[in-house]
Structure 1
Amino acid sequence: MAPERDSARERTPAGATATGRPRARLDQPAPPRRRYLPEYDPEAFGRLSERVARFIGTGRFLVWMTVTIICWVAWNTLMPQSVRFDEYPFIFLTLALSLQASYAAPLILLAQNRQDDRDRVNLEQDRKQNERSIADTEYLTREVAALRMGLGEVATRDWIRSELHDLVRELEQRRDGHRSEAVVFPAERSHGRDVDDR
């Protein structure tokens, strides 16, 4: 029995399952799949569509398109029959204008969608910036209020000046009061001194 198991193990390659299918390794990237549709860069295509939409929305495009249609109609009506390529109902011109319109509309819509995405990102950034500005303003408001409360307890220059004026006034009043006492009661003061001297 043991030799049969060993021979079965030898026949099964490493990494294969019991069904015989090789097991996918998770530590290695998967091989690229074959794509049947052509690949394109969405950013490059979007930039191209914006350029086309920007050109279609200019007066230059309208002038060139008008000149082209006038030349087309003049060529196919005034030139000899042998060189005309689009006879009077101008079916080929109608087809060309329809083709141009059918491509212009989706390109313009794609450009508008890209512009909407950019506007959305800009609005989000503006909203975040406004939130930061509001938070900074609230912080500064709290700091100014705290400084005002702190300054309410600190002596200001005007308050010290008014206090000094009051003290000077009080000292002057006391000095004037002492002078008046000395003038009004000279005998009393001198008698008191005599008593003290004795």
Structure 2
Amino acid sequence: MAPEREITRERLPAGASAATRPRARLDQPRPSRRRLLPEWDPEAFGRLSERIARFLGTGRFIVWMTIVIILWVLWNIAAPRHLRFDEYPFIFLTLALSLQASYAAPLILLAQNRQDDRDRVNLEQDRKQNERSIADTEYLTREIAALRMGLGEVATRDWIRSELQDLVKELEERSVDGHRRDGVFPAEHPRGRDMDDR
């Protein structure tokens, strides 16, 4: 039944509904489309916009722009009349400044958007790194707690020393008490120990 349905789909005209149109093949690349507008690399354009935005945000740009405007105004006031290119209302200067502002604003916004994207990626990486650090810290905390619990049941060197010293003192006390009862020290009666053992 399914093969018949696919055959009927292929026979339908191009204006048929979306449910009955044949699907595009995913194992083959799409044919290239011709575009009327020129193509450009968005990354290169973004980098250029960031460079321009950085320059627009410096004191050097303000100084150079101020010098150009002062020279423009002085030239169009003090130069001979036939050499002036923008008379008193300075319409051409106003047009140039508004044109510069109309391009500067989108470039600055584009640079800010790119910076926001970078900040978002950096924050995401920092968040993941913090999560890994927290997980590592929790793991190490559990391991240290397990080691402490395990060490609580293990005999330490100081504890073994104190136990051995207690045993040595107890043995010394027994040997001194045993010799006092016999009234003989081991040096005077070397066979006393052998006789007791038998």
TM-score bin, normalised by smaller chain: 0.7 to 0.9
Q: 1:126 to 1:50 in 2, by over 3 A?
A: same
What is aligned with 1:129?
129
Percentage identity across paired residues of the two chains: 77
What is aligned with 2:67?
67
For 1:49 and 1:168, how far apart are their aligned partners in 2?
86
What is aligned with 1:86?
86
Deviations 1:47-89 (A, max 9, x none): 1110000000111111111111111111111111110001111
The aligned runs of 1:114-193 (5 Å cut-off) are 114-183=114-183
Q: Give 2:50's aligned amino acid.
A: E
Q: 1:28 to 1:142 in 2, by over 3 A?
A: closer
For 1:64 and 1:19, how far apart are their aligned partners in 2?
65
- Under a length normalisation based on structure 1, what TM-score does the superposition of the two structures give? 0.77
Q: 1:19 to 1:91 in 2, by over 3 A?
A: closer
For 1:118 and 1:24, how far apart are their aligned partners in 2?
38
Q: Over the residues paired in the alignment, what is the CA RMSD in angstroms?
A: 2.3
Following TM superposition, by how much is the alpha carbon of 1:17 offset from its aligned partner in structure 2, in angstroms?
A: 5.9
For 1:44 and 1:33, how far apart are their aligned partners in 2?
23
- Under a length normalisation based on structure 2, what TM-score does the superposition of the two structures give? 0.77
Which runs of at least 4 in structure 1 moved beyond 3 Å after TM superposition? 16-20, 23-30
Q: Give 1:162's aligned amino acid.
A: S
Q: 1:19 to 1:113 in 2, by over 3 A?
A: closer
Which structure has the bigger radius of gyration? 1
Q: Give 1:74's aligned amino acid.
A: L
What is aligned with 1:43?
43
Residue 93 of structure 2 aligns to a residue in which SS?
helix
Residue 160 of structure 1 aligns to a residue in which SS?
helix
Q: 1:123 to 1:18 in 2, by over 3 A?
A: closer
For 1:25 and 1:128, how far apart are their aligned partners in 2?
39
Deviations 1:120-179 (A, max 9, x none): 000000111111111111111111111112212221111111111111111122123224
